[in-house]
Every structure is written in structure tokens, then in C-alpha cells.
Amino acid sequence: MPINLTINGKPVQAREGQTVLEVCWENHISLPTLCHHPDLTPVGACRLCVVEVEKMRGLIASCTLPATEGMVVRTETPKVVEERKFILEMLLTDHPNDCMTCESNGDCELQNAVYQYQVPWPEHKGARHNYPAGADPNPFVFTDFNKCILCTRCVRACAEIQGRNVWGVAFRGFNDRIVAGADVTMLEAGCESCGACAAYCPTGALTDKPSRGQARSYQMKKVTTTCVYCGVGCQFDLNVRSGRVVKVTSNPKAPVNGMALCVKGRYGYEFIHHPDRLTKPLVKKDGAFVETTWEEALSLIGKKFAQVKKENGADAFATLASAKATNEENYLIQKFTRVVMGTNNVDHCARL
């Protein structure tokens, strides 16, 4: 049963269980958000997505408001805009004014919202937090909680996507702070350095340490690729600047993994430009490996395989396949072993 409601005077339909925010986005009505992410449980903490709803008191956060029949919603009334400006102003009163050097500049949801609502930098005499930036020694995630807006997306991503529950909220009120475990380092709190927290962070509070200072988001070209580390087939975007991969970002449209990646996929890209990396096949000649062509290498392998089969029989041959290869590649390996080599000696490292 579709639910009929009116948003900004326009009749729209919603499905059972949809929130007003989802209905708005589906109907191309833009609403700013900070704490909301479609992958994560809604919390309604930032209040930026507030709307006016007829017959409801005050302003209601649309991310946690289920759409109901006959609802009349207004998303950009003066009252709503004033509230959003107020919220952004409040956030800025406890936020550093350093977009110039901020890693997230150009890719920051807070910056986008402040820009959209043209909130001026508040002249403000009150308290401001001054946490040490980069305090956590994690080799992959850089922390700067001065930029944290306490949206708890990192907390939810770690708990709901990665299942590690590293992050939590400690203290109370203005002194609320995101902490790892019981305020220990990330690694001590059981962090696997998957970087999901940094991927979901809407501001510059959690960023990718190896990429700091390498490039602005708009200076990088995104190239979608499939991870080479294992057979799961995660996809992500290589961020390329001047022909060099400087960063990996999650691709929300990745069919297998969505935003989730492991430490190898997200941060293990340095091998790409490593001088020790093999880029051509090597063949041993006179006791030493020398570079050669694929043609020569493959014909040498074919010759040796045929020789073994002829001299010692097919069962002298066996293949051990890898979990890093895809299912299709593993299928081809066993096909090759059975049909070409004529033996059933097929095994796989993941059988253990």
C-alpha cells in the first residue's frame, strides 16, 4: 500500500517503512544531513534535516520520522532555515577555522552545508576544545577530534559494518568525545585499521593518514577497480593524481562490499609504485633470473609441463590454487589440470 503525503505542496508517494528523508531524496528534494548515512542506523543527532510537519509541534528530524498517510511536510520554511543556520553556527563555534589545510577540504559535508546556508564564521568568545591533533598512533587513520561534530557515524560504522565496536562516546554534553575503547589507542581497542570510520566521517576528524597532503579530492581522478588481494572481489576507487595512486576510497556502488574494505584493500596500495615490484617475467639463465618476454616465459612453461607428463605420467603433476584468485580463475585451473594435464591432483589453499 503506497502512503500518500505532501512535501512542499507536491503530492508524493512513499513505501511502508520509509522515512520522510528517504522520500524527499527519492523525489529529488534535497535535505542537508550530517549524522545520517544510508548504510547506518539513523540516530537523529545533528538535527540538520529538520522539517516542519503540520499538526506536529516544533521541528522534526526527517531522518527518523516515518512517512505516514496524509502527512504535510515543508522542508525549507524560514523557521527550518533559521534552525539549520543555528545548528551550523553552533557547530562552527566549536570547530577549527582551518579549511585551508584540512585534509577534507572539498570533500566535507559540514563545509558543504555551511556553504549551502551561507553561515558566516561566528565571532564567538566562548569555550572551544583544543584536543591534540593526530594523537592516536594508528598507522592508517589520522584523528583530529577538534573537527568532530559527534555525528557518531564512526561509532556506527565500526559497530554495524565492521563489527569491531572500537569507537564509543565518552563524557557528557559539551565535553562529549569520541574515544576508542575506554579512552585507549585504536589498536589497543581492537582496531583492525579497516578505515571504515574515516570513510564514513563527514568532516576532517578521521582521515586516511597515508594520503595526508597528497592531493585535494578534486585533484584526483577516481578509477574503479577490483581488489587484487583475495577472491572476495571488493571494488573500490583508486584515487590517481599525476599518474600515481595516492589514495583508495570506498565506492558506495560496489556490488560485493559497498563501503566496506579491509586494511589491505584500503591502505595496501603502496606496492603499485614500489621499485621491487615485478613488471616483466623472469627466466633463470645460467643460475640467474633475467627479464624476458611473456611469449618466451609461457612457451618455456608449456614445454616443461609437457615434458613432465611424458616422462613421469600425468599424476606426477598437481596444482595448488590460491584463495586470492577469483572463483572463475580457480575453475579454469582445475579444468586445465584435469583436461590438459589429465590428473585429478587439484587442491586449494582454502581447503585447510
Partner 1 sequence: MPTLRSHILISGDPVSLARGAEAIKGAVESELAYYALTDEVAVALSGNLRLAPEQLPAAVIYPDDVTYGPITLNDVPLIVSEHLYKGRIVDALQITTKPLTGAIVRVPAREGALFAQQRVVLARAGIINPESIEDYVAHDGYAALGHALTRMTPAQVVQEITDAGLQGRGGAGFPVGKKLNLVAKAPGEEKFVLCNADESEPGTFKDRLIIEGDPHSVLEGMLLAGYAIGARVGYIYIRGEYHLARERLEQAIRQARAMGLLGEGIFATDFTFDIHVHSGAGAYICGEESALIESFEGKRGEPRIRPPFPTTVGVWGRPTAVNNVESLANLPPIVKNGASWYRSIGTAKCPGTKVYTMLGDVNVTGLIEVPMGTTLRTVIEVYGGGMKQGKPFKLAQTGGSAGAIIDASFLDVPMDFAELAARGGGLGSGALLIAGPDTCVVDLAHVLLRFFASESCGKCVPCRIGTTRAKEILARLADARATLDDIHQLERIANNMQAAAFCGLGQAAAVPILTGLRFFRNEFVAHAEQHCLAGVCPMRGEPPAAKRRFGRKELATAA
Binding site for partner 1 (CB under 8 A): 42-48, 50, 58-59, 61, 64, 66, 79, 82-83, 86-87, 90-91, 93-94, 124-127, 149-150, 168-169, 171-176
**CB closer to partner 1 out of 128 and 221:** 128
Q: How far is the CB of 22 from partner 1 (least distance, A)?
A: 15
**CB closer to partner 1 out of 58 and 213:** 58
CA 58 to chain centre: 35
Under a CB-based contact definition with an 8 Å cutoff, are residues 111 and 218 in contact?
no
Nearest to 99 by CA among 83, 77, 118, 121: 121
Residue 48's SS3 state is coil
**Dist. CA 257–CA 167, nearest whole Å:** 21
Q: How far is the CB of 176 from partner 1 (least distance, A)?
A: 3
**CB closer to partner 1 out of 151 and 197:** 151
Q: How far is the CB of 207 from partner 1 (least distance, A)?
A: 22
- The DSSP letter of residue 341 is I
**CB closer to partner 1 out of 23 and 87:** 87
- Hey, CA dihedral for 309, 310, 312, 313, is it positive or negative? positive
Residue 170's SS3 state is strand
Q: How far is the CB of 178 from partner 1 (least distance, A)?
A: 11
Q: How far is the CB of 90 from partner 1 (least distance, A)?
A: 4
**Dist. CA 23–CA 86, nearest whole Å:** 25
Whose cell is 566521517? That residue is 201
Q: How far is the CB of 149 from partner 1 (least distance, A)?
A: 7
Backbone angles phi, psi at 241, to 5 degrees: -130, 125
**Dist. CA 99–CA 106, nearest whole Å:** 9
**CB closer to partner 1 out of 94 and 188:** 94
**CB closer to partner 1 out of 20 and 321:** 20
**CB closer to partner 1 out of 141 and 150:** 150
Question: How many of the other CB atoms lie within 10 Å of CB of 4?
Answer: 14
Half-sphere exposure of 165 (CA within 13 A, CB side): 1
Q: How far is the CB of 145 from partner 1 (least distance, A)?
A: 13
Question: How many of the other CB atoms lie within 10 Å of CB of 307?
Answer: 10
